[in-house]
Amino acid sequence: MTATRALGVDLGSRRIGLAVSDPSLTVATPLEVLTRRGEVADDHRAIVAAALEAEAAIIVVGLPLSLSGRDGPAARAARAEAEQLRVLAAASGIEVCLQDERLTTVTAERALDEARVRREERRRVVDKIAATVMLQAWLDGGARR
Predicted confidence (pLDDT) per residue in 82-130, tens digit: 999 999 999 999 999 999 887 666 666 677 667 776 777 666 677 898 8
Does pLDDT of 145 surpass 50?
A: no
Residue of 17, 22, 18 lying closest to 5 (CA atoms): 22
Q: Domain 5-140, what fold?
A: Nucleotidyltransferase; domain 5 (3.30.420)
Residue 144's pLDDT band, with cuts at 50, 70 and 90, is low
Q: Between the CA of residue 75 and those of 82, 135, 142, what are the distances in Å?
A: 10, 17, 22
